[in-house]
Every structure is written in C-alpha cells, then in structure tokens.
Amino acid sequence: MRDVRVRFAPSPTGALHIGGVRTALYNYLLARQHNGTMILRVEDTDQNRFVPGAEEYIQKSLEWVGIKIDEGVGVGGPHAPYRQSERTAIYMQYAKQLIDAGHAYYAFDTEQELEAMRERLKLAGVPTPQYNSITRTQMRNSLTLSEDEVKKLLEDKVPHVIRLKVPRKEEIRLNDLIRGWVMVHSSQIDDKVLMKSDGLPTYHLANVVDDYLMKISHVIRGEEWLPSAPLHVLLYKFLGWENEMPQFAHLPLLLKPDGNGKLSKRDADQLGFPIFPLTWKDPATGDVAVGYKEAGYLPEALINFLAFLGWNPGTTQELFSMDELIKTFSIERIGKAGTKFDILKAQWFNQQYLRAKSDEELASYLLDALKNEGIACTQDKALKIAAVMRERVTFPKDFWEQGKFFFHAPKAFDENVVSKKWNDDAVKVLTAYKDAVAALPDFDATIAKTTLEQVTANLGIGTGKILQALRVSITGAGGGPDLMMIMEIIGKDEVVNRIEYALQTIKVKVA
RNA sequence: GGUCCGUUCGUCUAGGGGUUAGGACACCAGAUUUUCAUUCUGGUAACACGGGUUCGAUUCCCGUACGGACUACCA
C-alpha cells in the first residue's frame, strides 16, 4: 500500500461547519492509523466568496479539537504553497496540457449567450440544458471558431473560460470505498468549466491537480461531491494520471434532527445548539454564533460524538479517546445513510468525559467562573463543591450556574416547595435546629446530620417531613446535592443565618 | 424534471438467508438515595412497501414509495 496522504480542503467562506470537522476527523484518523500525512489545503479559488478570518478560524478549530496538521497551510511542506489562490500558474499549465491533448477547449461565450442557449433548449423541450458534446457545436469556442479567430480573440484578451471536452459516449466508473461501484454515463456530464475567466481554476480542476501533485492517496469528503466524482475520474484519465488516482470515500451527510434535509446553521440556531466548533462572528453582518467550545463542550467529547456520526466500531464500546479512535477506525465501517444530528447524544458524551475528570480539574472550572464573578474561594472549598456536584453536571459552567447557592444565600425560595413543605412542624424544627447549630463547637456534615436527628427526635417530628423545608431555606431550591455536605461547605454561621432569614422571610410571605 | 446515492426501534446503530433482531441515547416504571440528580434493575419501541429467488427472506434480485445530494465561470 502506498503512503497514506490525506487532505482536508475547506474553502475559507466562513466558519467551519460541524460536518466539516467530522470530515477532517475521518481524514485525520486514517492518516494517523497508517502513519500517514494529514494535509490542510485551502481551496480559495472563488474570490467572491472569500471571507476574511475564515482561514485562521479553520486552523484554530482543528487545533482545538485535536486534529494536528502535518503539512499545509500554516505549517508548510514539500508541496507548498497550499493555498490554491497561490497556485494559479500550475493550474493553467495543466489546463493548457488538456487543450493540447484535445480534451479541453477555449470558450468565449458571454453570460447572455449562455442564457440564450439555455432558453432555446428549454423551449425545444430539453429539461436540463447543458453545455455538452451537442450544444458546444453551436457555441463560440475553439472547436467551432477558426484557428485564426481563436488566436485573435486570445490576443485581444477577450474574456474566456477553458472547458473540459467531455466525450459523448463513455461509461465512467468509480469504485467508492463506501458505496462500491458507481457508474455514470458521460452524456450526463456537461463540459465543466476548468478555468474561469478571472484566470482561477474551478474546484474540479484545482482539486484534481493538487491531489495528484500532493500525492494524495485517499479523498475522503462529503457525499455532496459524489455526483461530480466521475468528472474527476475523467480528469485523472485525460491528464494521464489514472494510475495515481486516489481512492475515493464519500461520507454520508449530516442531516437536521427533525424533518429532512442537511444540517444547516439555521436548524442549529432554531434548536439551540452550536453548529461551529468555535464562536464565530460574521464579519459582514456582525452576527455572533456561539461555538461548541464556548457552549461548554469538551473537545474530546465532541470528537467522540462526531466519530460516531456515521461510523461505529462494531462493538459495544462507546467511549473512545482520539488514540483509541485512531486504532479502531476503518473506512469499511462507515455507514452509507445520512445521519440525523442528535445534540442530546453530544451532551451525554460531554457528561461522560466531564465526570471522568479529577476533582482538581472540575474545581478549576468553578474557580475560573468565580474569578469572572469576582468571588473569592479557597482551593479546598472548590474541591469539595466539585466532588458533590460531579454527578449532576453536563457542562463545566454548571458548577457555577447550578452551585451559586454555595456563594450566595438565596433571596427567593422555590414557591412549589414552600407551599408543600413549609408548615408549622417545619418552622418548629428549623427554629430549634438553628439554635442547636449555633451552639455547636464544631460543625461538619456528620454533625449537621446527627444534630438534625436529635432535634427532630426531641420534637417528635419525622426528619423526612422537614428536610425539604431545610433545603429550601439553605439553597432556595427543592433539589440539589447532599444537603449535609452543602451545610458543611457553607459553614455553621452561614447555615444559621440562612435559616434565620428563611424563617423571617417565608413567615412574612405566608402571613 | 434529470442523474446519482440512500432506507433496521423516536435518534445513532449492530447483525445478516433459519436470531427471543443486539447495544447506546432519549423515554417510562421500580429499587436505592429521608429531596432532586447519580447508580442499579426492568420496560415500551424497528427490518418502508410490493413482487420474485429460496424449503425459508429483515438479509439476495427487481420494482414502487419515501428521503437526500447534485444539476454555476461556488466549493
């Protein structure tokens, strides 16, 4: 087997879509598995769609998820440059080679002429007008014009394109690694533009030329490219590179969670989940789209989730580190059908990875959030909070957002709990408990518990009956981590103060 | 419309000529947790349809339906 060299080749037309990240990931996994090379090539041949900052964004995104580029934009390499806009001379050379070999030709048709042709064909009952082996005989190109005319037009720098001369009758077959043999008749392919009138190549030419020159062994890309893959096969053939042609693998698309169609930013916005790895601010509109990173997803969780969107190991193992994915991944186990995007599963992965972290790491999430809030907290306290919260969080931000009561006494109390559990017995117990706690020389979770049991026993009231009332007085809510631990963490004085405040506030409310 | 691709629980999927069609997420129920969550146990739930081939098809073949992609001097 030849050296595995794969490329991720995005266009810098905006933020990197999550589906693009998955494509990059599959490429990366294959490369690493075979000690191959992962290449980043920027396909910026459309000047009109260029978006400033997009290229840097793509690089940063890949870096964040842990996909390392061996060769390409940002790192260089033996086949530099890796930005297609810097390789225009190369493409022209091969376009000319195709012309010389009779596989391509100059076309001088204006947009209006093209439009007129389409109109005429439609009127004649042709459903899909194409510039092809039939119609090209009626257009203004180097096949219909005399040699002298063509020469003059070129010398006068009349705007023109170079088109591929697709044969009239030929069966083009391609063996896709995921889909098997795909056959298309050349009559269904039109004479695609290879070089645009601005002197830049189209995707089709640039992609084939670069993949060849960069010795790409596998082209792993989205299924949207499948229809044009036969065209690319044709190009390899005409360029004389048939034997060096890479293997193709067309990935199933990421579909929207409900309904049909491919996943779009709009869907993600509507359903409230990110579509980009990192937060992206559209330079044109100023719109900001929150990324997976900023939303609290861990890169290893995102990767694990993405890897399973269309691929599976064939075992019941669900959790895979990048290294494990590299070992286990195989193109053969990629599915054919489109995959609906389920953000709930992503959250589950995130939860798994978050819980696997040490208390120290979890505490650091809390400490970071507290720093932003300007709240002081000891390492020891943060560690304790992390320990009691770890089973209930999905995102790092949850430590702070769901644990605010550790730092702020509740100002309001859950109405529902109050109406159900706040009664004379509760007031009796809380009053006595508050006094008992205040008199304690030492205080921790165990003592808090035994003290509570003593108080309730003395009053002849079941502990369970008033526990919710105690909780709501301490945290303001009806649910949360172990209450005794919460009391230990906030400390004796705070416990007393909070009960006191609740006793006063809630009583007033009820009355 | 045309071309190409696809179709197993709600979702991601395993499987593959004879299986109680397996797992995960989600959901529901019970246990534990004097709350909630966690954890544990259990449960609901799928081979799109119609023809073949076959002793036997979810599995192979052909249609149909449905879905998707593509159909630019965009990638």
From the CA atom positions of chain A, what is the Rg in Å? 33
pLDDT at position A2: 84
Whether the full predicted model's pTM is greater than 0.90, yes or no, is yes
pLDDT at position A509: 53
Question: Is the Cβ–Cβ distance between A305 and A320 less than 8 Å?
Answer: no
Residues carrying CATH 3.40.50.620, chain A:
5-73+211-256
Partners of A38 in the β-ladder: A6
The C1' atom of B70 and the CA atom of A2 lie apart, in whole Å, by 31
The C1' atom of B33 and the CA atom of A322 lie apart, in whole Å, by 36
Residues carrying CATH 1.10.8, chain A:
357-406
> What CA–CA distance (Å, rounded) separates A56 from A58?
5
Tens-digit pLDDT profile for residues A404-453: 999 999 988 988 888 888 888 899 999 999 999 999 999 999 999 999 99
Asked whether residue A485's C-beta has any atom of DNA/RNA strand B within 7 A, the reply is no
Count other Cβ atoms within 10 Å, centred on residue A55: 19
pLDDT at position A219: 98
Tens-digit pLDDT profile for residues A279-337: 999 999 999 999 999 999 999 999 999 999 999 999 999 999 999 999 999 999 999 99
* pLDDT over 90, % of chain A: 88
What CATH architecture is A267-354? Orthogonal Bundle (1.10)
Of the candidates A247, A202, A242, the residue with the CA atom closest to the CA atom of residue A220: A247
Residue A508 has pLDDT above 80, yes or no: no
Residue with tokens 């995959």: A339
* pLDDT over 70, % of chain A: 99
Tens-digit pLDDT profile for residues A192-225: 999 999 999 999 999 999 999 999 999 999 999 9
What is A88-204's CATH topology? Glutamyl-tRNA Synthetase; domain 3 (3.90.800)
Question: Is the Cβ–Cβ distance between A417 and A410 less than 8 Å?
Answer: no
Asked whether residue A50's C-beta has any atom of DNA/RNA strand B within 7 A, the reply is no
Of the candidates A330, A337, A232, A476, the residue with the CA atom closest to the CA atom of residue A33: A330
The C1' atom of B30 and the CA atom of A382 lie apart, in whole Å, by 36
- Chain A 211-230 residues whose Cβ is under 7 Å from strand B: 223-228
Q: Catalytic residue, from A262, A265, A357, A449: name it.
A: A265
Residues carrying CATH 1.10.1160.10, chain A:
267-354
CATH of domain A5-73+211-256: 3.40.50.620
Residue A128 has pLDDT above 90, yes or no: no
HSE on the CB side for A357, CA within 13 Å?
23
- Chain A 267-306 residues whose Cβ is under 7 Å from strand B: none
Indicate whether this complex's ipTM tops 0.90.
yes
Find and give the residue nearest to B11, measured CA to C1': A342
Of the candidates A139, A148, A143, the residue with the CA atom closest to the CA atom of residue A102: A143
Kindly indicate whether the domain formed by A409-511 is annotated with CATH number 1.10.10.350. Answer: yes
A434 is in an annotated binding site: no
Residue A237 bears catalytic tag: no
Spell out the alpha helix ranges (H) of A356-444.
Answer: 359-373, 379-389, 398-401, 415-421, 424-438
**What is the overall mean pLDDT for chain A?**
94
- Chain A 405-444 residues whose Cβ is under 7 Å from strand B: none
State which nucleotides on strand B lie below 7 Å from a protein beta carbon: 1-8, 10-15, 23-26, 33-38, 67-75
Residues carrying CATH 1.10.10.350, chain A:
409-511
Residue A511 has pLDDT above 50, yes or no: no
Structure tokens at A132: 């092809």
CATH of domain A357-406: 1.10.8
Count other Cβ atoms within 10 Å, centred on residue A178: 19
Q: What would the mean pLDDT of A87-115 be, rounded to a whole number?
A: 96
Asked whether residue A125's C-beta has any atom of DNA/RNA strand B within 7 A, the reply is no
